[in-house]
Chains A and B, each alone.
Chain A
Amino acid sequence: MPPLARWLARRLALTLFVLWGTATLAFAGMRLVPGDPAHVIAGGVQANATPEVLETIRAQYGLHDPLPVQYAIFIGRLVRADLGESYQLNQPVSTVVLEQLGATVSLAAGAAVLGFTLALVLALLTAGRPRAGALTRALEFCAISTPNFWIGILLLGAFSFSLNWFPVLGEDGPRALVLPWITLALPIAGVLAQITREGLERALGQPFTLTARSRGATENRIRLRHALRHAALPVLTLSGWALGELLAGVVVVETVFARQGLGQVVVSAVNGRDFPVVTGVVVLAALTFSVINTGLDLLYRVVDPRVRQAAL
């Protein structure tokens, strides 16, 4: 087996292990919190279901079985990619998730693109230029240290209520996405811009930069063709973190802007003890994390040839 295939096989095994781990933790977590699932399924604690109805539900959902049996059934379904049915919505979890996935992905992906672009442009323009660097650094610190929801509220106040440039709430098209994108992107851009600038500045101080200059290369060429690639390495390392920030931020931003999406689904599922939905979203998030991180590691090997030679 070639080294790359062996490496990928190991990553796949690792991904499966991570998925099993998160699913198990979600299972354990939902069993540890107080509250009877049968009540939830029957329509919540306030629904006043009769004991007979609750008994039927327990039998139907296998809640009488001992925990190990329930766990085995749960894992068995998961292996067949069956996430079960939502207690609250009486729909398959996969349907619930897929319905909302689009909105969340467009929010997160747009914010990621915006955040990375902003960071890159800022860093490229200000690296090695002390005065411009100091100014943008101050702005970046503001962006990093301001909580998501507050950025969102400020943007809404300024651009929706005062200036009426963007709709306050609602789903109507890309115009409604602009403010949520910015809200999500700013903190990520703040951190990534600092890391990128530091990487660029370190690369610009290296002897190979002097060599490139001595060949008559322009400043743009040195930054884009040489230094940027070096700066990309730490940025790649932090991209995994940025992804986590995005997922966490989605929940907040969807609430602030009253948008549909997975974040909202998770919030109501956790509140309503909707165990299958929570598990489904958690497993999906873990899968996304694993796949993207594997992709990032592959990208690392593309950017840095020295890593390719190292033991896999």
Chain B
Amino acid sequence: MTEPLVVVDGLSVDFTTRHGPVRAVRDVSLTLRAGECLAVVGESGSGKSVTARTLLGLAGQGADVRARTLSFAGHDLRRLGARQWRRLRGRQVGYVLQDALTSLDPLRRIGYEVAEPLEVHGLATRDDLDDQVVGLLAEVGIPDPEVRLLQYPHELSGGLRQRALIASAIAARPRLLIADEPTTALDVTVQAQVLDVLAARRDAGTALLLISHDLAVVARLADHVAILYAGTVVEQGPAAELLAAPAHPYTADLLAAVPSVEGPVPDLSGLRSAPAAQEGCPYAPRCPLADDRCRERLPEALPYDTGRLVRCWYPGGAPASVPGERSAVPVVPARAEPVLTVRGLTKRFRSPDGSHRTAVDDVSFDLAAGEALGIVGESGSGKSTTARIVLAEFEPDAGSVLLHGEPWSGLRERDRRARRSRIQLVDQDPLSSFDPRYTVEEVVAEALPRTRDRGERVAELLGQVGLDPAILRRRPGQLSGGQRQRVAIARALAPGPDVLVCDEPVSALDVTVQAQILTLLTRLRRDAGVSLLFISHDLGVIRQVCDRVAVMKDGKVVETGQVETVFRAPQATYTRALLAAVPRIGPGPRVPARPRVPEPVPVTDLKGPT
């Protein structure tokens, strides 16, 4: 067995903040060898990014890093000075951040960004710099590298941007590549391609440290997985064994929360949410197995099965909160009057170059009372534009929207205002749709008529979405992502709408929180009888919530039908391709990378961002 490239033993990172010290990482131990992939999985705030950045000496200002061992290729990282760190960064360790739109300098050309590590480390001469960059861009599968080199990040699609970011990280041929959420916010087909690029690097002998909140994403690539919760590794071991039979309750919950496109739809109403405990096992407040011992003492990391370590008093205790299949999808009353009738919607936009682009092309559907219709598609498919037309944010160029059989589109705003409250929106990012100076109470109360019992109504609504009235006085910035989305749902429900338009409501959330929000939406639909128009790029999420689904591509609906039918026997080629690209957690040997010919990038990915 070769010497490990990275050895981390007993790593702790504390931050000094105004509210006292924060223990971001506690006693984390990891090893990583050349040509292997270690995935560190956890939700936001679990310390996974801090752990990764410690290996670059970029844990952040005010970080107090302590470790028994922290070594890279035999060098003790704890003793490095600023200059030695710089020599390591980029040259020995490459770093890929998530969301390449903000991780690449928006004012610099792609070529400049990719060339920077070569320049910094003196690995290229003026003459061969461009050739090297073109070669790197081609290597990560970017078509027309000579052209892309001169473009700016905003002129590239999300997938190409992420590839360019990877090209810059591998430019100096580092021995370790750290990828921090490299595919978050990408469409499934693009996500699969980006993972292939990373797999190719691993197969070429680079050690790969993959940071993600999504177990399904890492399942394809990882040889080893470490599950992080509240800064502590609660379980680690070989990927196949760990994913096939999770030993820690948190791992089990994480696995259950991943929305799948096949198999039974799990009932996730048992997932609890609570902040991590400071004493004892951090997961105890959320754990179905927790007893007094868990709350008092943090368990040691003990060997379990073959080559695994688990920090739990009851390892492999129970397949936590997956008590079988969810009861059948709520039945829609037969021949219900449609709440929303959409016929032949078409919308064209003018591009900067003056040409017209058809964003929505002859889209028709009905939404019955109490029904949940999913619209699924990749970015640029026109699904959000359709939602915005239904919300009457703008008028269609052709076609019509009827609400309760009466005209909704094509009216003057004055004639629509009285019925505005019938359709409400739940957005992807509630933080930007709340006034940051409002309290939670004001945010929700704003949507209610000014009556005497307004305060009670707000408390009632918050209870309905599972929020404690204690947060009434908080401001949006002080809430977690899941709490914010619950507040957004409470506000949308306030006027008692008939239709909730949910535009990617869970795509910015951790999987367990996502599962809770989806459970909430399903329950609200049943209890409040509200119809859902659910926009998402995630097929698994759609399946969790919806009765029917419409698959959109290039502005057209390519397939529509009952969720189970469409997912089991997709008719359209595009639906089949979408389903095939969804990452799956399957036991078995790791998937070797596909042949590394720069594969053709699908047409959808070649277009610039919309």
A residues touching B (Cβ–Cβ < 8 Å)? Answer: 206-208, 210-218, 221, 226, 229-230, 303-306, 309-311
Contact = CB atoms under 8 A, between A and B. Distances in A.
A305 B58 contact: no
B2 interface: no
B107 A303 contact: yes
A216 B107 contact: no
A305 B352 CA distance: 14
A211 B107 contact: no
Given A212-B116, A215-B90, A207 B102 contact: yes
A47 to B, nearest CB: 63
A216 B105 contact: no
Given A306-B152, A311-B352, A213 B105 contact: no
Nearest to A229: B107
Nearest to B92: A216
Interface string B88-114: 111101110101001111111000010
Interface centre among B56, B116, B165 (most CB of A within 10 A): B116
Interface in B154-175: 154-155, 165, 168-169, 172
Contacts of B95: 210-211, 214-215
Interface in B100-148: 102-108, 113, 116-117, 120-121
A216 B154 contact: no
Nearest to A128: B61
Contacts of A207: 97, 99, 102-103
24 contacts: A207-B99, A208-B102, A208-B106, A210-B95, A210-B97, A213-B56, A213-B58, A214-B89, A214-B97, A214-B169, A215-B168, A216-B91, A216-B117, A217-B86, A217-B90, A217-B116, A229-B107, A303-B107, A304-B107, A305-B106, A305-B154, A306-B152, A306-B154, A310-B352
Interface centre among A215, A217, A221, A305, by most chain B C-beta atoms within 10 angstroms, is: A215
Nearest to B60: A210
A216 B86 CA distance: 4
B473 interface: no
A214 B96 CA distance: 9
A210 B168 CA distance: 13
A180 B87 CA distance: 47
B117 A215 contact: yes
Nearest to A309: B352
Given A211-B113, A215-B168, A309-B154, 10 more contacts: A207-B97, A208-B104, A210-B95, A210-B97, A211-B168, A216-B86, A216-B121, A216-B172, A305-B107, A309-B155
Nearest 5 A/B pairs, CB to CB: A214-B95, A215-B90, A216-B90, A216-B89, A215-B117
A226 B108 contact: yes
Nearest to A311: B352
A210 B58 contact: yes
Interface string B404-447: 00000000000000000000000000000000000000000000
Interface string B471-491: 000000000000000000000
A206 B102 contact: yes
Nearest to B171: A215
A206 B97 CA distance: 12
A229 B107 CA distance: 8
A208 B103 contact: yes
Interface of B: 56, 58, 86-91, 93-95, 97, 99, 102-108, 113, 116-117, 120-121, 152, 154-155, 165, 168-169, 172, 352
Contacts of B103: 207-208, 210-211
Nearest to B178: A214
A297 to B, nearest CB: 17
Nearest to B88: A216
B180 to A, nearest CB: 10
Contact of A230 (B86, B89, B107, B113): B107
A213 B89 contact: yes
A35 B518 CA distance: 80
Contacts of A221: 120
A217 B107 contact: no
A212 B171 CA distance: 13
A304 B106 CA distance: 8
B97 A211 contact: yes
Contacts of B94: 214
Contacts of A211: 95, 97, 103-105, 113, 165, 168
Most buried by B among A211, A213, A217, A229: A211
B442 to A, nearest CB: 29
Contacts of B58: 210, 213-214
A217 B120 contact: yes
Contacts of A229: 107-108
A200 B91 CA distance: 26
A165 B438 CA distance: 59
B52 to A, nearest CB: 10
> Counting chain B CB atoms within 10 Å of each CB, which of A207, A208, A216, A304 scores highest?
A216
A87 to B, nearest CB: 52
Given A218-B86, A309-B352, A212 B105 contact: yes
A226 B102 CA distance: 13
A113 to B, nearest CB: 24
A215 B97 contact: no
Contacts of A226: 105, 108
A230 B58 CA distance: 22
Contacts of B97: 207, 210-211, 214
Q: Which of A212, A218, A306 is most buried by chain B, counting CB atoms within 10 A of its CB?
A: A212
Contacts of B86: 216-218
Contact of B120 (A210, A216, A305): A216
Contacts of B90: 214-217
Nearest to B91: A216
Contacts of A215: 89-90, 95, 116-117, 120, 168-169, 172
Contacts of A216: 86-91, 117, 120-121, 172
Contacts of A310: 352
Contacts of A213: 56, 58, 89
A216 B154 CA distance: 24
A309 B156 CA distance: 13
A129 to B, nearest CB: 11
A211 B90 CA distance: 9
Nearest to A215: B90
A94 B155 CA distance: 50
B171 to A, nearest CB: 8
Contacts of A210: 58, 95, 97, 103
A309 B354 CA distance: 12
Contacts of A306: 106, 152, 154
Nearest to A130: B61
Contacts of A304: 107
A230 B87 CA distance: 26
Contacts of A305: 106-107, 152, 154
A206 B99 CA distance: 12
A268 B321 CA distance: 88
Contacts of B56: 213-214
Contacts of A218: 86, 120
Among A214, A218, A304: residue with most chain B CB under 10 A? A214
Contacts of B116: 212, 215, 217
Contacts of A309: 154-155, 352
A214 B99 CA distance: 16
A4 to B, nearest CB: 13
Nearest to A208: B105
B254 to A, nearest CB: 26
A250 to B, nearest CB: 34
Nearest to B112: A225
A196 to B, nearest CB: 16
Contacts of A206: 102
Contacts of B102: 206-208
Nearest to B93: A214
A310 to B, nearest CB: 7
A311 B108 CA distance: 21
Contacts of A212: 105, 116
